[in-house]
């Protein structure tokens, strides 16, 4: 395979820096652009990221095969437009998207390949691969509660991963999140409806990512847990997705497609 020219959007953020550091040792890629948002005072300056000196820019010029987006919902919308117009494959690891951004994502996927991965971890995807069967086999007698924890600066809640896990359980068991999900509890809430899926978000310290799915039934509780203590696992997954997506036809893909 030829070396892939790769752009990183959100290059000054936690995940952007992690991807840049890992990419420095990955012979599959060469850096096309380290992107920051328009108006950022760091745009046009050089930055030291791990063992790399990178020039930060707010625009994407020249040839680029793929872009990894770790920005915000507004940033994702802007880079969707750029990638669609320049036919650049896209990996979206950013979370917290509204319905408008998701709709634009689906439109852009008609002309470019997009991997939408709220969580790029291989371990999380392995859990998702078995979670539906797990939920079906335990059945309605088991209550489901999902708890996620992230660092104090994460701006969206619950996490995109927690919502994806909840959707996996709901789809497998005939539930609907718009009807059966409850986000935290307070006050006199009454007894717990059997079909309810509890989803809870913790924000504290510098926790990278922690997700637990609890199934509690007659006489036992089963917990599936994933804990990421470093962002390196997400960076590795994002780069794996970028190497995969450049060879795909236009469409919307997930990490499950990448790993398969």
Active-site annotation holds for 154: yes
Buried b (16+ CB within 10 A) or exposed e, 209-229: bbbbbbbeeeeeeeeeebebe
Q: Which of 87, 151, 154, 186 is flagged as catalytic?
A: 154
Greatest CA separation for the chain: 62
Q: Using CB atoms within 10 Å of the CB of residue 74, give its burial: 0 to 12 exposed, 13 to 18 middle, 19+ buried.
A: middle
Active-site annotation holds for 25: no
Residue among 199, 136, 216 at smallest CA distance from 169 = 136
Q: Which of 25, 97, 110, 150 is flagged as catalytic?
A: 150
**Cβ–Cβ < 8 Å for 60, 37:** no
DSSP state of 39: T
> Annotated active-site positions, please?
150, 154
């Amino acid at each position: 395979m030829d070396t892939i020219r790769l752009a990183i959007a959100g290059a000054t953020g936690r995940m952007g820096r992690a991807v840049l550091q890992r990419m420095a040792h990955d012979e599959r890629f060469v850096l096309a652009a380290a992107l920051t948002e328009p108006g950022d005072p760091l745009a046009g300056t050089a930055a030291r990221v791990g063992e790399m000196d990178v020039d930060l820019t707010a625009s994407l010029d020249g040839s680029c095969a793929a872009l990894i987006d770790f920005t915000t919902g507004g940033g994702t919308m802007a880079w969707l437009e750029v990638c669609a117009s320049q036919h650049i494959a896209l990996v979206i690891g950013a979370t917290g998207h509204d319905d408008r951004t998701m709709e634009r994502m689906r439109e852009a996927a008609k002309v470019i390949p997009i991997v939408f991965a709220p969580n790029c971890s291989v371990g999380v995807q392995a859990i998702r691969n078995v979670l539906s069967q797990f939920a079906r086999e335990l059945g309605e007698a088991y209550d489901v509660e999902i708890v996620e924890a992230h660092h104090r600066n994460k701006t969206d809640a619950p996490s995109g991963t927690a919502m994806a896990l909840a959707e996996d359980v709901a789809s497998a068991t005939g539930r609907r999140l718009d009807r059966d999900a409850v986000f935290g509890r307070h006050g006199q809430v009454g007894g717990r409806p059997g079909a309810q899926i509890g989803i809870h978000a913790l924000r504290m310290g510098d926790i990278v990512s922690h997700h637990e799915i609890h199934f509690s039934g007659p006489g036992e509780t089963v917990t599936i847990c994933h804990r990421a203590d470093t962002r390196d696992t997400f960076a590795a997954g994002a780069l794996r997705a970028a190497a995969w997506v450049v060879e795909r036809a236009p469409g919307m893909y997930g990490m499950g497609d990448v790993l398969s």
